[in-house]
Amino acid sequence: MALLDGPPALRLDGGAALARLAAAGLPTEALKAPARSLAIEVALDRDARGHRITVRQSGADTAPFAQVIVDPLTGPLAHHGRRLAGGLGLTGMPAKAIGDLIGKLYALALAEDAIQLRVDPVEIDESGALACRAAGFGLDRMAEFRHPAWRDLPIEAPGTPLERQLLAAGAVGAEVDPDGDIAAVVSGAGLMMASLDILVARGGRVRLMVDMQGLPLQGAEGLAPLIEPAAALRPKVMFYGGRFNAPVTDGFARTVVAVHRKLAVESPVYTWVDGNKVPEAQAIFAEAGFIVCDTLEGALAEVVAAAAG
């Protein structure tokens, strides 16, 4: 699940995740004679404005499976459980047990501020006895202030190695298309999304989009660990842009140029900056041979044209 509108989810897996289920009163002890092994996932679906609950055979990522969208105003209802159980051919006590378990997992996901909760496998026998044998949480980082204990949990940020590297540097990066030929580093989540939209709308294939967040305020020491992995990709075209209210624009330009010289990056570089110390930054970029653009949309149009050429 990719979340470009907020910090990446945190992961909680293994024994620590299973312990959270046990603490919530869910059965975790193995059954003596399980009849079926299922996988159940409760995941936030922003497009549907609710939670998507999916039940399928354990270890299978294909059909058969059953899925419902749960309205947050009502939560899971009885017919949700019947539909999910029936989708896998469960009847009687096993079907009722699955319906009850789904309600408990949904409540646990809300209580834990999880955007995803997957339990796989869930063992079930003919009497309807259940056992949750493994689990994993995707936790909403925006809710960290409500969970001070998260600092002590074995939580990892998901994503590609490059996305994790950028996150460790203090930025938010999204690898959009592994075959893309454009990399962009910008200042601000809004500018990140707007730039991505414009590039894609114009037919550009974006390899990487990065939001620097507050790193320009940290100078070269904070920016270099971010600029280096992006520049090291050596895409066909690179773009750097941002509107800087603090007087850091020239320092940003010097850091970008220094990293490109250090790595001997030959990709053409397009830039657009606004705010404080813009003339100084533009002079630094121009002296380094970068293309200086006056408007954001004009810069991105030139980036797409250069990538296509």
In tens, the pLDDT along 23-74 reads: 999 999 999 999 999 999 999 988 888 999 999 988 766 666 899 999 999 9
Can you give the C-alpha Rg of the chain in angstroms? 24
Which residues belong to CATH 3.30.470.20 in the chain? 10-156
pLDDT of residue 154: 62
Q: Report the chain's mean pLDDT, rounded to a whole number.
A: 90
Residue 1's pLDDT band, with cuts at 50, 70 and 90, is very low
Architecture of domain 161-308: 3-Layer(aba) Sandwich (3.40)
Across 105-124, average pLDDT: 94
The pLDDT of residue 309 is: 86
Tokens of 53: 């609950």
Query: Would you state the pLDDT for residue 143?
Result: 85
Q: Specify the pLDDT at position 61.
A: 67
CB neighbours of residue 278 within 10 Å: 17
Q: Which has the minimum average pLDDT: 4-18, 139-153, 272-286?
A: 4-18
pLDDT of residue 155: 60
pLDDT of residue 59: 78
Q: Report the share of the chain in percent with pLDDT over 90.
A: 69
- What pLDDT is attached to residue 64? 64
- Is 130:55 a contact under the CB 8 Å cutoff? no
CATH number of 10-156: 3.30.470.20
Quote the Cα angle for 241-247-251, to 5°.
60
Task: Show the tokens assigned to 184.
Answer: 């962009």
Residue 269 · residue 239 · CB < 8 Å: yes
Model pTM score: 0.58
Buried b (16+ CB within 10 A) or exposed e, 59-73: eeeeeebbebebeee
